[in-house]
Amino acid sequence: MTPLTTVLLMVAIPGLIMGAFNWALHPLAVLFEFRQKTPPALPVRPRVSVVIPAYNESVVLAGCLDSVLASGYPDLELLLVDDGSSDDTLQIMRRYEADARVTVISKANGGKGSALNAGIARATGDVFVFADADGVFTPHTIPRLLEGFRHDKVGAVCGNDLPINVESPLTALLALMTHVGTGMTRRALALVGILPIVAGNSGAFRADVVRELGGFREDTVGEDLELTWRVQFSGYDVEFAPHAKVLAEVPSTLKGLWKQRVRWQRGLIQTARIHRARFEQWPSRPVDAYLPLNLLSMLALPVLQLAALVLSVVAIAVGDLRFDGLLGMLMWAGLGLALGVSVLALILDRDWRDFRLLVFLPLWVPFSVMMSCVTVAALWHEARGTEARWNKLQRTGVRTMVGRAGLASGTGTP
């Protein structure tokens, strides 16, 4: 064994071990489906406050508001927070004020956390549902979220966000990744009580828990992740409701995807820094033991993957490594495993139409490389102290998948 191959193995083996740990969680997603169903621990029909912050969202806002108001939940209030938009977002919101369920709040631009807190301050519900301005609700979104409050110690429930704009190989791949990374992985993590995230575009929180914890932090771009960690650290459980679906846009360009994922990774780094003292304590809950492993997987594993890729290219170039040997076997095994997990994820989500997306599975490899580069960029920006902003997606308004929600396109009028 040459020195180069030895170094490659030293880099690759830890990455393979962490990767195997992640894949080992997936079978737990099947057990989630057979978990005993219990009635919600909430009042029979709790008052629900849907809080939607918006900054320059005129392209998609009306469709979102139409879907929430038409969802049919009887005791609903909708709080719309304009965070200093420079387009006609506020004017669109004002059109909905004739509906008694709607409250419009206008404020100077302060970021997403600030906008969410402005909505919380005016909310009167027993449960807060937080959504982005491009989200499209189904008639089942809110009831399914409420079903996730299975017992008194459930503090938050994460819904299942699905792409609405599947129109290209990139968005098709992201739709497929959503089934695996969201639908399947979150089932597994929720089953064992270690779900670390309630997505900002499809999450429900008990109002008393949010107020007890002081709402969202306004000094991080990972405000949804950070609040979820505090919910867990405070002794509450976080559940997953796979059939509480919210359709929302995914990035339609590589530039948009890069910006979004760098922001997500920076949010993770910032949240870990905020709660670093927690990692110095003896674990008191399962999530305490899981989070360090999750951080290694999300931050260290991508760096190892890039290092292993560079070393592999060099080793192949000098003849130390061949595709017809161990490397070839690992590549085929990895693609086979990815195919099996993707099929299982689609079955669990009961999304038979998305089986057509499997033809884009080979794009998983370059996607994984790009996500590793994203992590390196996020680590670099955090190390340099580069200013982090909301930096939301440039919306397109494309809604190719809205039919799966049983909804027609929004009209833009209440």
The predicted-structure confidence for 128-146, as pLDDT tens digits, reads as follows 999 999 999 999 999 999 9
Kindly report, as residue ranges, where domains of CATH 3.90.550.10 are found in the chain.
35-252
CB atoms within 10 A of CB 263: 21
What is the rounded CA–CA span in Å between residue 9 and residue 17? 12
Question: Of 262, 251, 157, nearest to 202 (Cα)?
Answer: 157
> What is the reported pLDDT for 318?
78
Q: Is the domain covering 35-252 a CATH 3.90.550.10 domain?
A: yes
In the DSSP assignment, the letter for residue 297 is I
Partners of 102 in the β-ladder: 78
What is the rounded CA–CA span in Å between residue 342 and residue 366? 17
In the DSSP assignment, the letter for residue 408 is P
Q: In what order do the strands lie in the sheet with 76-83?
A: 102-107, 76-83, 48-54, 127-130, 203-206, 154-163, 237-248, 136-137
Instruction: With beta carbons less than 8 A apart as the criterion, state whether 62 and 410 touch.
Output: yes
Structural tokens at position 398: 């494309």
> Which residues of 214-314 form beta strands (DSSP E)?
237-248
Average pLDDT for the chain: 88
Question: Of 361, 380, 367, 376, nearest to 306 (Cα)?
Answer: 376
pLDDT digit string, tens, across residues 85-125: 999 999 999 999 999 999 999 999 999 999 999 999 999 99
Structural tokens at position 306: 């890039």
Question: Of 89, 125, 87, nearest to 104 (Cα)?
Answer: 89
CA dihedral 368, 374, 379, 384 (to 10 degrees): 160
> What is the reported pLDDT for 411?
37
What is the rounded CA–CA span in Å between residue 247 and residue 162? 5
Please identify which residue in the block is written with the tokens 């905020």: 274
Structural tokens at position 62: 């009306």
What is the rounded CA–CA span in Å between residue 390 and residue 166? 24
> What is the reported pLDDT for 387?
83
- Measured in whole angstroms, how far is the alpha carbon of residue 210 from the centre of its chain? 19
CB atoms within 10 A of CB 219: 13
Instruction: With beta carbons less than 8 A apart as the criterion, state whether 126 and 45 touch.
Output: no
Sorted by sequence, the CB contacts under 8 Å of residue 269 that are 6+ apart come out as 299, 378, 379, 382
What is the rounded CA–CA span in Å between residue 260 and residue 204? 22
- Per residue in 332-349, is it b (16+ CB within 10 Å) or e — as a string? eebeeebeebbebbbebb
> What is the reported pLDDT for 323?
57
Instruction: With beta carbons less than 8 A apart as the criterion, state whether 135 and 61 touch.
Output: no
In the predicted model, residues of the chain with pLDDT beneath 70 are 1, 4-5, 7-16, 18-23, 36, 321-334, 390-391, 402-414
> What is the reported pLDDT for 403?
61
